[in-house]
Amino acid sequence: MDRLKVGILFGGPSEEHPVAVKSARQVVRHLDPERYDAVLVGITPDGRWWLVDSPEPGWESRTGDPVVLSPDRSTGGLLVLGAGGVETIRLDAVLPVLHGRFGEDGAIQGLLELAGIPYVGCDIQSSALAMDKSLTYLVAAGAGIRTPSYRVVEAGERPDPASFAYPVFVKPARSGSSFGVSKVAGPGELAGALATARRYDVKVVVEDAVAGTEVGCAVLGAGTEVVLGEVDQIGLSSGFFRIHQEEAPEQGSDNATVTVPAEISGVARQRVRETALATYRALGCRGLARVDLFLLDDDSVVLNEVNTFPGLTSYSRYPRMMEAAGLPLAHVLDRLVAAAVAR
């Protein structure tokens, strides 16, 4: 049986570049070399695409030829711009191991759609919806899913600090991994929090703080062929969860512990899973996503956010939840690639 030629795009020009590189390392380590011929494309923080041999540390200094993804559907893959001319590499599928902007917002999905290349994960529409927290809440609320009370603050807008009920969370509308997020205790902190959020997005969401435990659910598949991972639970000693901004996240968080499976009641677990699946379907997700929620004292749940290409690092929540449900990362990747090729 011929191996599938799978392009792995990783890195990217977003603030989540380092996390995406770590995710790519885990993907490469868990892809079966007898089934897949991996073609690695490293995207630098300034947006240059290079053919590389590995995403391991130092890959930026081991780059080969520059490469682009051809939007011409007759190419069906990559154009390698070598010194001896242009070489074509046809791809059976692409794994866009890119987090945050340009990876989860529909941008790379649009390029792959133009190119006519099957790819893993959510499509353009669901990626764009899930990336924008305010749009996520609009769609989810329309499907009967409870969301935080929130207000959108547009570029240049200076809201009256007295118009909010504190505490609130101030977030870039379209960013991930808690970059630019601040918890604001009172009116005097609002202006600084807005400035911090606007470093990542001109559109900002101000949410009422939800008094609940943070939980999450991994989702895999599409339509009726959906698998749910075990629910996880985040325990905080202070502040809020922001694992990817730790000095050494592989060694754990300074203020949080993640428990899989979550130590919650059976009723709560079922509600978390049902809400995660309802959110996934309402947004039109496919492939994979991690749905984060708040679990309240009465076992009701409130949506937090949806990550359409969650971290796959050694310490990431998504692979841990799926493995606890009996699906190690190698099996998850097999399912994702098979589903992409079959579409």
Please identify every residue annotated as catalytic.
19, 22, 99, 244, 250, 290, 311, 315
Given the structure tokens 């340009």, which residue do they identify?
A: 102
Handedness of CA 106, 132, 197, 319 (dihedral sign): negative
Handedness of CA 69, 222, 337, 16 (dihedral sign): positive
Rounded distance between C-alpha atoms, residue 117 and residue 138, angstroms:
31
Handedness of CA 97, 340, 29, 58 (dihedral sign): negative
In total, the chain counts a number of residues equal to 343
Take residue 39 and report the two structure tokens written for it.
């073609």
Tell me if residue 257 falls in helix, strand or coil.
strand
Take residue 142 and report the two structure tokens written for it.
């329309």
Given the structure tokens 């995660």, which residue do they identify?
A: 276
Given the structure tokens 């154009």, which residue do they identify?
A: 79
Residue whose C-alpha is closest to residue 244's, from 175, 145, 165: 175
End-to-end CA distance of the chain: 20
Rounded distance between C-alpha atoms, residue 263 and residue 110, angstroms:
40
Rounded distance between C-alpha atoms, residue 70 and residue 121, angstroms:
20
Helix, strand, coil distribution of the chain in percent, nearest 5: 30, 30, 40
* Residue 132: half-sphere exposure toward Cβ, Cα within 13 Å: 13
Rounded distance between C-alpha atoms, residue 5 and residue 36, angstroms:
6
Handedness of CA 52, 56, 58, 60 (dihedral sign): positive
Rounded distance between C-alpha atoms, residue 170 and residue 157, angstroms:
14
